[in-house]
Structure 1
């Protein structure tokens, strides 16, 4: 039976004339950091101090233990392979000076025959810049969104920096490496096709075998759900087919359970000796995208097990600029945060990586649908060699590698490249040169159709479905809404109803404690425009867009960082709420929103709901409200207000009669109505007209709608014009809780618990209290219960203009 020896100990990294201990898996930056030779690039402006790392060659070395040799069973011979699950990126692998091979793709695994040899193993990494620039020189330049050559090397694109990420071009053995010892034959590849008809699950295991003994007779035995099947290996391949009666279907979270079935495949000789085993978990479900044309355009609706769903999504970027540091526990923490916020779909964005099995395993368990981009983003990618062969090889490997996971429901060709070709001036600059269209409309759909016909493919995001429509036409297919953040007020999200919003978002700084650690504690001032803050703001004119976004609603808080910090975080939550509420209220015309973005890879002002230290921003708590099964929102329809009652649960919702109150900001109820309630069907939206008598008139009034414990608010004027009373409230502090009782209107009250203790977290985001109302906010992680004065300093709400 095949056995493996992990190669995790004894590695060294050659640095100038020194030898440093090296962690494998790991990377150059983390090894240098552990040795105290570079500053932490996440703190202050140290990122610029380590830029030299990406311009050097680096060599990892270890003594390779002796490989076993001798006669195996059935006349076979023993074999030892050196297996790398991931090398970042361009490298030569040598054993005692003998070249085993050269590699140039971070997204692939590699295997070398080292049977009967031992000695000094070295992995010499070229500078990723040198590799990319050499390919660019050979193939000619191509346009991209950032001034770095990331599209000329098959490496995580955001290593070269992004509008939320640092430029930290590293190298290293970023995934596990091992020696595999085997005799006669081994399982080289398993391509599982998993389908379901009624209550019968069907599994086809298409198996490729590598032989050391050509004459050996080989068989395959598979078992799943108590069902066994056997098949012969003919040459180097075989197919095992199983039908499993009475299976339970796998569902997205909120739609049902997530039953998973263990599959075990064994390769053995005719005499019965086991040679190799492959094990995975699968789930039985169907998935398609309804892209049918209708009176609104061309749809894009996920259909799982025949159930049409509004996708409540978030975009995912690599959770660390050095992805070798992301553990299974960290994946679980972050993805559990997503599930707890009501998310049911995670899009793995195309400037990152194919994540490890740990990521998809956890999504399988949590019921999180996965939309997987192929790694192409925001650039024109050459289609010539050496890149074309690498693209095909990596796609083939990763499609097969990820096929067992029921959570994976969509392959997507690229991020924004089809849009970029049409709108970003690429077509003229390219002058006929290749730019990636052949990948997205040719190579990749062909590979998916050949290897994984159980899942849909789309050429890109955004993509209207064909060149007959603009790639980012909101009426057709998927849409990215970035004009609002870049140039407009977030109220403009209500200007249209896209069929599926695959990206939109609004920036805000990270949590206060995160900023203190990353900026203030290394000697930088906490001010919106201080050098340290600006270094941790990577978006073009990012702070200018933040301030223009604030100015449309608030009087800008000159020189008051704490107030600026609160208002920018509040504006982020409000902006995303404006979009999601509007689009959810238009289901089924709009069939999903994927917020940009869930997470960060370092401490930075960005669009994330969870910052680079893992702290939830107010947006995170807002997502819990926006993505709940039941949502109420006040929307305009034809110049009049309606109360949209959204029910994404699987059962009928019969809410109590909605209570509508027209109020003054001083707390007076001017008019009140209880409008007739109506049952809202499962996965449906109902609209209740708002009587004219309760529509607010002018800046001094607002509308409150309460339905079964849910609340919607409508203020007809921007905050800077609203004569809010000076906030007055009482505070009670107890272990694990803060209770606030309002004596005046408190709009968007927020407790920033990490101001009390860097480890403290609140379980509630922004909340508006009417006079006499109270809220209890749960708090965990503080070392000691703070006094009332400290709590008051950590409480913020909208105040009258100063």
Structure 2
């Protein structure tokens, strides 16, 4: 039987003037040095800038272990970061230059009986990348870092949301595998379902020491297949009648089956492999020029998030941490995770959780925001990593699409790359040839898409909203978020708006005596070029200027939440023209001002609550609809897809139903003044088919305001519409009463009864206790109505502090006396 012995104990790391620091494996230099007290926490204040030397230093990991040699033994390195030489007992057994793949070395002849010395020597990633850049010639990228000249996690070199912390180390398990006769080198199940019959085509590749016959046995759902093999490859086919299907979130249960494979010789079991698989059919429908994910013949409107590595240091990303982040995504009604191409091929824990929870996953190949050389050694390394990871991930039902890169097709066309390249390679051979060939060979049932964004044809502008997938970044970079309403895209794969993290996260990570947007720690934890200026522009477009940091923090977080909710609701209202949105981004890898809904300490920003509401299965939203483009009760019809059109016209009520059942509803829509008086009303009802949207015009007396600055629309379910911007509305001073009580479950109920209208009422209990979290945010409360916040907190909170600023906030505060 194949046996595996992990080699995770007794390691030390040395480099520069550091010697013999105890090392944790899997891990990396930064966390080892931090654990040993040799460096300050790189996530705090500006400590990151003092640690650049780590990425420019060569490091050596060493350990010793006892062994009793016998039979074939391989040293298996599942992941080394990144350029390394591996030595056993003073003999070099191999070299590596790719973080994204594993390596296996036959060390049978090098092991000695007794003590064995193992060293892994890491060359500085900078040194290697700069050597390759000098050899091949520079290539443009988004940052002044050489990440495109090394097969390493690109965001280690810094990003507009991430620190520059260039890691090195044994980042995945390492161990000795001993085997005899033969072993399972590769197990690749291709799982399909058609006509009520599930089918597993199981392709197995063996490593062998002899040509003796061996038997491969596979079983799933009570079905078994066997093959006796004298070569190195075998195909076994198992069919299952009427299997329970795997469905994505919101469409059914994600049913999984155990697939078990054993390798035997006579009565001896040589090796075994197992995985949970799901029977489902998944494709992308691009027949009309759009991009629609279809699972089990049901179109799925993608309610997605972009996913980045959840920590700079991979050894901190545990299964429990991923599960917590996935639960936050599920609770926000997300059904799709896009793994961004500047990070990693995600872990088995990630994909197993996605399978179990019913998330759809799109995995980028690892190219982002840069021109990549196609010469050797990169071409061979890219092919090796792609083959390994396609095989590793192909059996996961959650994975529904492979994407060739992030923004590189767009960058080549739009970011002045062509003169800088001067004819040099930039990655097109990967995206249009190598990668689709590998996917077609190894994972033929799963679609491949050359890039994000991509418009469906190499000769079409890659970021054309009318075709395929698009990224919308002019809103954040140059325009107000209301411009989202001018787009009619087919599928939005990236769009976002920034805000700072929660107050508790800021206070943990930044020691500035007085926090301010430009204070030293705040400035260091804003990585986007011109980020603070863009935040200020966004505020100026909608709100009175904040008087202090507390106002600034509340308003920037509110503006982020409003921006994404505005965009998502607009795009969903265009169903079926638009078939999905993937907002940027769910998570952060450290405490930073960013586009994330969940900050680097795992706390929910107000955006998270807005995301949950905007991604609800059933959504009522007011949307402007000009008469020229409105077909009563139906979709917009006479503007070309992707056109930029004015978001004007009277508001209509749009009902969006992403559930699996029809939705019949009735609601009352009222036009009111700020005092809450009803000026006009109408009853609106409709039946909305599953997976569709219905646009319902409103009568002129409801949809036409008498005074745009003092009137609003409201449904009896809490949906509101304001004609004017907050800064142009004469908000009354906030008047309300409160009551606070401790519930039997240990949480705190905070009830606010409004005397005046309260705009975007939000509670920030993390200011009182870092672990305190509310159940809602951004609620507009009409006069005479009330709202109850349920605050989870391990300890009681001060009622007076809970119900006064800066913990309890609303937009009315901006016009209230201090």
Q: Normalised by the size of structure 1, how large is the TM-score?
A: 0.96
Partner of 1:645: 655
Aligned counterpart in structure 2 of residue 654 of structure 1, from 664, 667, 672: 664
Q: Does 1:664 align with 2:673?
A: yes
Partner of 2:35: 34
Aligned counterpart in structure 2 of residue 771 of structure 1, from 764, 777, 783: 783
Partner of 1:218: 214
Q: Does 1:399 align with 2:409?
A: no
Q: Does 1:688 align with 2:696?
A: yes
Q: Does 1:436 align with 2:452?
A: no
Q: Does 1:281 align with 2:276?
A: yes
Counterparts of 1:686 and 1:217 in 2: how far apart (Å)? 64
Partner of 1:191: 188
2:710, 2:730 within 8 Å by CA — same for their partners in 1?
A: no
Counterparts of 1:701 and 1:691 in 2: how far apart (Å)? 19
2:211, 2:230 within 8 Å by CA — same for their partners in 1?
A: no
Q: Give CA-to-partner distance per residue, 1:410-439, whole Å, 9 cap, x none.
A: 000000000000000001211111000000
Aligned counterpart in structure 1 of residue 811 of structure 2, from 794, 798, 801: 798
Counterparts of 1:772 and 1:276 in 2: how far apart (Å)? 70
Partner of 2:296: 305
Query: For residues 118-197 of structure 1, what are the structure 2 equivalents within 5 Å?
Result: 118=112, 119-197=116-194
The answer to which of 628-637 and 15-24 deviates more is 15-24
Partner of 2:581: 593
Structure 1: give runs of 5+ residues left out of the alignment: 70-77
Aligned counterpart in structure 2 of residue 108 of structure 1, from 70, 84, 101: 101
Query: For residues 343-382 of structure 1, what are the structure 2 equivalents within 5 Å?
Result: 343-382=334-373
Partner of 1:72: none
Counterparts of 1:44 and 1:470 in 2: how far apart (Å)? 42
Deviation at 1:468, TM superposition (A): 3.0
The answer to which of 141-150 and 3-12 deviates more is 3-12
The answer to which of 317-326 and 696-705 deviates more is 696-705
Deviation at 1:637, TM superposition (A): 1.1
Partner of 1:500: 491
Q: Give CA-to-partner distance per residue, 1:239-271, whole Å, 9 cap, x none.
A: 1111112211100000001110001101111x2
Aligned counterpart in structure 2 of residue 702 of structure 1, from 708, 711, 722: 711
Partner of 1:610: 598
Deviation at 1:790, TM superposition (A): 4.0
Q: 1:778 to 1:17 in 2, by over 3 A?
A: closer
Q: Does 1:754 align with 2:760?
A: no
Partner of 2:399: 408
The answer to which of 238-247 and 721-730 deviates more is 238-247
1:734, 1:785 within 8 Å by CA — same for their partners in 2?
A: no
Q: Give CA-to-partner distance per residue, 1:649-684, whole Å, 9 cap, x none.
A: 11111102x211111112222222223x12111111
Query: For residues 519-598 of structure 1, what are the structure 2 equivalents within 5 Å?
Result: 519-520=510-511, 523-558=512-547, 560-598=548-586
Counterparts of 1:781 and 1:452 in 2: how far apart (Å)? 47
Aligned counterpart in structure 1 of residue 610 of structure 2, from 594, 608, 622: 622
Counterparts of 1:800 and 1:393 in 2: how far apart (Å)? 58
Q: 1:602 to 1:699 in 2, by over 3 A?
A: same
1:251, 1:257 within 8 Å by CA — same for their partners in 2?
A: yes
Deviation at 1:461, TM superposition (A): 0.3
Partner of 2:619: 631
1:732, 1:788 within 8 Å by CA — same for their partners in 2?
A: no
**Secondary structure at 2:688's aligned position in 1?**
coil
Structure 1 residue ranges (4+ consecutive) displaced by more than 6 angstroms after TM superposition: none
Partner of 2:305: 314
Deviation at 1:784, TM superposition (A): 2.2
**Secondary structure at 2:804's aligned position in 1?**
helix
Deviation at 1:550, TM superposition (A): 0.4
1:218, 1:268 within 8 Å by CA — same for their partners in 2?
A: yes
1:756, 1:782 within 8 Å by CA — same for their partners in 2?
A: no
Q: Normalised by the size of structure 2, how large is the TM-score?
A: 0.94
Counterparts of 1:630 and 1:690 in 2: how far apart (Å)? 20
Structure 2: give runs of 5+ residues left out of the alignment: 627-648
Q: 1:382 to 1:84 in 2, by over 3 A?
A: same
Counterparts of 2:185 and 2:803 in 1: how far apart (Å)? 60
Q: Give CA-to-partner distance per residue, 1:35-93, whole Å, 9 cap, x none.
A: 00100000000000111110000000011321431xxxxxxxx2111111110000000
Aligned counterpart in structure 2 of residue 268 of structure 1, from 264, 267, 291: 264
Counterparts of 2:344 and 2:591 in 1: how far apart (Å)? 20
Query: For residues 453-532 of structure 1, what are the structure 2 equivalents within 5 Å?
Result: 453-520=444-511, 523-532=512-521
**Secondary structure at 1:568's aligned position in 2?**
helix
RMSD over aligned Cα, in angstroms?
A: 1.2
1:756, 1:791 within 8 Å by CA — same for their partners in 2?
A: no
Q: Does 1:733 align with 2:777?
A: no
